[in-house]
């Protein structure tokens, strides 16, 4: 499951919706009865709220967080890509090709010195080198590739910061 192509209207969340989202980000496997108790609802209304948040696209999916080294991923790199032209057709084609690459675990179109910023995860330096030289450099429209290899993880957060509900909002 991929992320939506962004830009959805912000949904009006109340304090209970916010609490549900915070609880599910902390533990997506939380049983509905426990979630309901944590947010102060009975199970049926809690489940209805979760389903509503899913239907609205606020909750886009559920996943397991893995230990990278435990599954053989020993190298993380951040790769900047410059493209030849910045036309919508070429950008959309490159976007689709990047989305299909399993080594790319996150990708952003960015401002600044490059056009795309990718987070790439591979087994080691050799497989990363093969990926850059054999795959990324050969994508149509790619003018340049620069990489920074991660030496250590300082913070890895999967949860998004959910703004507090303003006073007077329900």
Q: Is residue 118 part of a domain?
A: yes
Q: Which residues form the domain of 99?
A: 69-149
Same domain, 129 and 81: yes
Same domain, 29 and 95: no
What CA–CA distance (Å, rounded) separates 78 from 116? Answer: 10
Of 9, 45, 39, the residue nearest 26 (C-alpha): 39
| pLDDT digit string, tens, across residues 73-98 | 999 999 999 998 878 888 899 999 99
Q: How many domains does the chain have?
A: 2
Of 63, 115, 45, the residue nearest 87 (C-alpha): 115
Same domain, 50 and 78: no
The DSSP element (H or E) to which 120 belongs, if any, is strand 116-122
Q: Is residue 155 part of a domain?
A: no
Least confident of 20-34, 58-72, 153-167: 153-167
Same domain, 37 and 104: no
Q: Is residue 64 part of a domain?
A: no
Q: Is residue 3 part of a domain?
A: no
pLDDT for res 43: 98
Angle between helices 43-55 and 15-26 (to 10 degrees): 80
| pLDDT digit string, tens, across residues 104-146 | 999 999 999 999 999 999 999 999 999 999 999 999 899 999 9
Same domain, 41 and 86: no
Same domain, 51 and 85: no
CATH number of the CATH domain containing 87? 3.30.70.920
Same domain, 77 and 143: yes
């Amino acid at each position: 499951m991929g992320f939506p192509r962004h830009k959805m209207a912000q949904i009006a969340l109340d304090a209970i919706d916010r609490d549900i989202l915070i609880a599910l980000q902390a533990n997506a496997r939380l049983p509905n009865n426990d979630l309901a108790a944590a947010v102060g609802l009975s199970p049926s209304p809690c489940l209805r709220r979760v389903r509503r948040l899913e239907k609205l696209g606020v909750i886009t999916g559920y996943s397991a967080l893995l230990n990278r080294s435990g599954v053989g991923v020993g190298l993380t790199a951040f790769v900047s890509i410059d493209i030849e032209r910045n036309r919508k057709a070429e950008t959309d084609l490159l976007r689709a090709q990047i989305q299909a690459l399993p080594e790319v675990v996150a990708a952003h179109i960015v401002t600044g010195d490059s056009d795309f910023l990718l987070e790439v995860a591979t087994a080691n330096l050799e497989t990363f080198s093969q990926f850059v030289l054999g795959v990324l450099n050969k994508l149509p429209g790619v003018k340049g590739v620069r990489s920074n290899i991660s030496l250590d993880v300082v913070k890895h957060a999967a949860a998004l910061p959910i703004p507090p509900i303003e006073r007077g909002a329900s």
